[in-house]
Structure 1
Amino acid sequence: MKKRNLLTSVLFLVMLSVAALAVYLFNYQGGENPGGSASSTVSSSAVEEEQTDSALPDVSADDWELVLVNRNNITDEMNPVLTDVDGVSVDSRIADNVRAFLAAAQTINSREHLISGYRSVAYQEELFNTYVSQELSSDPSLTQKEAEELVKTYSQPAGASEHQTGLAIDMSTVDYLNASDPDVAAQVAVLAPDYGFVLRFPEGKSRFTGVDYEDWHFRYVGTESAQYMTQNNLTLEEYIALLKERD
C-alpha cells in the first residue's frame, strides 16, 4: 500500500512539473513577448521590400532612353540626331541596335522589314488628321470627337507619339497593323529585349498605355530595362512609376 501511495505521489509531481513547464513556455514565446513576433514580421517585410527595390535595374526615369511620351505626357518637337537604317530614320544612338534587331528578326522571317521610325510632330499631326478623316468617311454617324477617340486606339495626336523621340520603330512582315503571322510576331517580341527593345503596346495593357495591342511597334529602352520589363510584364508607364517610387 505504501509503495502504491508513493508511486501515485511521484506521478502527481511529474504531472505538475510538466504542466508548469508548458505554462512557462507558452508565456515566454507568446504571452510575455508579443512584440518579438511583430518585430520579426516587420523586419521580414522590410527585407522583402528592399529586395524588390534592389531588383530594379540601376537606371533613372530621367535617362534619355526612358523618356515617356503619351497623351498624358505631351512633348514638343525633340529634334533627335538621326541616322538612316534600311530607309527609316532613328535616333543615331540606337542605330546599331536597330540594325542588329532587324537582322535577328529576319532570321525568323526574311520578310521582316522596317516600316516607320522617326516622325516629326508636324507629320504626326497630319497623319492623325488623315486617320480621323478616314474614320468619318467610313462611318458618317460618328462625330468629330468620336472619330478622334477611335483613332487614338491605334495612332496618337501630335506631341503624344513615341515616334517623335526617334526611339520607336514599326517592324513587321507586312505593312498592315496586326496582320503578321502571330507566331512570327511572338518570336520577334521574344528577341526584342536582347537588343534593348520592348513590344510597346502588348495585349491586355491598354489601361496603362491608352493604346490597343500593336504587333509591330517596338520601343528602345536599353537592354537591362527591356529585359526587366519583359520578365515582369511591365509597360513603360508601369516601369517608370516603379523607378520613381524607388527613387
Structure 2
Amino acid sequence: MNDLSRRRVLGAAGSLAGATALGLLDIAPAAAADPTRTDRAATTWRGSRSANGWKILDEAASHTIEGSGRSVRLAGGDSALLLLHVARRFHYEIDQLREEDVTGHTTSRRVRQPHESNYLSGTAIAIRSYAYPPGVRGGLYPHELVVVRDILAELDGAVAWGGDFVSPQESHFEIGLGPTHPKVRGVARKLRAWRDTPGLGAGTIDAFEPERLEDVEAFERRGAS
C-alpha cells in the first residue's frame, strides 16, 4: 500500500460510519462463486462490435497510466481517457499498481460472458483479475468500495463496474455507453479540463468527504429509479 493509500485508510474510520449510514457499503463476507455462471462454457464472439457497441479492433495502442509507471492497451480517444482515470484513481487511492495488474485489449474472441467482448474493442480494463475472480462478490474492503463507488458516480454512468453485474467480476471496468453517447464525450471533456488544471483530478480527490458521499448516494438513487 502506498503512502497516500495508507493515509486514506487511517483517516477513513469516521467517514466509513457516514458511508454506512448512507447505505454505500456492503461489509458482508465474500460470497461463494455461483457455479451456474462462472462455469459457463466459453463461446466465440462474432460480429464487428463488442457488447457495449464499440468497434472491435485488430490492435490497440499502449497507454501510460499516469503516476504508476504501468501501461495498458486500449482504444484511443474518450474511452481511453475514462478508463485510464479509473486506473489512476485505483493506483492513488486503493493500492499501487504492479506489473501486469492491468489488462485491456485482447484479440481472443473466446468469452464466457458478453461483457468480456468489450476487451476486443479496447473499451474495458481488468484490474488485478487474479485477486477478484469472476462470480465472487465482496473482494473489496469497505474503504476500497467507497472509492470505487465514488469513481462510478464521478464518471456519471459512462463507466460500468463488473461488481454490479448479475454475474459479478469485480476486476472489470468498461465503457458502459455506446461510442456516440453524449455522456461519454461530456465526461471526457470534464476529465481533460481537470488534467489541464493543477490541483484537480486523480490524486487530489478525497472520496470520503461528506459531500462526495452524498453525491454517490444521489447517483445511485438515480440509477435505481
TM-score normalised to structure 1 length:
0.39
Q: Which has the larger radius of gyration?
A: 1
Q: Which of 1 and 2 has higher RCO (CA within 8 Å, sep 6+)?
A: 2
Q: Per residue, is there more helix in 1 or in 2?
A: 1
TM-score normalised to structure 2 length:
0.42
